[in-house]
Amino acid sequence: MTEDKKSLNFIEHIIEEDLKNGMNRDDLRFRFPPEPNGYLHIGHTKAIGISFGLGLKYNAPVNLRFDDTNPAKEEQEYVDAIKEDIAWLGYKWDQECYSSDYFQQLYDWTVQLIKEGKAYVDSQSAEAIADQKGTTTEPGINSPYRDRSVDENLDLFRRMKQCEFDEGEHVVRAKIDMADPNMLMRDPLMYRILKKTHHRTGDEWCIYPMYDWTHGESDYIENISHSLCSLEFKPHRKLYDWFLDQVYSNDIRPKQREFARLNLSYTIMSKRKLLRLVEEGIVSGWDDPRMPTISALRRRGYTPASIRKFVETVGVAKRENVIDVSLLEFCVREDLNKIAPRVMAVLDPVKLIITNYPEGKEEWLEAENNPEDEIAGSRMVPFSRELYIEKEDFKEEAGRKFFRLTLGKEVRLKNAYIIKGERAVKDAEGNITEIHCTYDPKSKSGSGTDESKRNVKGTLHWVSVAHAIPAEVRIYDRLFSDEAPDGHKDKDFMEFLNPDSLKVITGYVEPSLKEVKPLDQFQFQRLGYFNVDPDSKPEALVFNKTVGLRDTWAKVKPISEKQNTVKTPQNTQKEIPAIEEIKRAGKKYTNLPDDKREILKNKIKEAAKNISIEELEPLFETAVKKAGTRIATMISLGVILNNKGIQPNGLAKDFINKALEDRNELLQNEARELASKYSL
List beta partners, residue 547.
Answer: 529
pLDDT score for 553: 54
Residue 35 annotated to the active site: yes
Q: Is 271 annotated as a binding residue?
A: yes
Q: CA 479 to CA 339: how far, in whole Å?
A: 27
pLDDT score for 554: 52
Q: Which of 65, 192, 261, 309 is catalytic?
A: 261
Residue 271 annotated to the active site: yes
Q: Is 262 annotated as a binding residue?
A: yes
pLDDT score for 559: 37
3-class DSSP assignment, residue 41: strand
Q: Is 39 annotated as a binding residue?
A: no
Cβ atoms of 116 and 154 closer than 8 Å: no
Single out the residue of 448, 453, 446 nearest to residue 415, CA to CA.
446
Q: Is 477 annotated as a binding residue?
A: no
Q: Is 67 annotated as a binding residue?
A: yes
Strand order in the sheet with 521-524: 342-343, 521-524, 528-532, 541-547, 469-476, 502-509, 345-346
Q: Is 36 annotated as a binding residue?
A: yes
Q: Which of 16, 35, 75, 434 is catalytic?
A: 35
pLDDT score for 140: 96
Q: CA 163 to CA 255: how far, in whole Å?
A: 35
- For 15, phi then psi, to 5°, come to -65, -45
Q: Is 653 annotated as a binding residue?
A: no
pLDDT means per 10 residues, the chain with 680 residues, are 59 95 96 95 95 96 97 95 97 98 98 98 96 93 97 98 97 97 97 97 97 96 96 94 91 91 92 93 96 97 96 87 91 95 97 96 95 91 98 91 92 97 94 96 94 91 98 96 91 95 97 96 97 97 95 50 34 59 87 81 87 83 85 92 82 87 87 83
Supply the DSSP string of 558-588, one letter for each residue: HHHHHHTS---SS--SPPPPHHHHHHHHHHH
The C-alpha angle with vertex 134 and arms to 129 and 140, in degrees rounded to 5, equals 75
Q: Which of 173, 192, 271, 601 is catalytic?
A: 271
Q: Is 211 annotated as a binding residue?
A: yes
Residue 361 annotated to the active site: no
Q: CA 469 to CA 509: how far, in whole Å?
A: 5
Q: CA 667 to CA 50: how far, in whole Å?
A: 37
Q: CA 259 to CA 256: how far, in whole Å?
A: 10
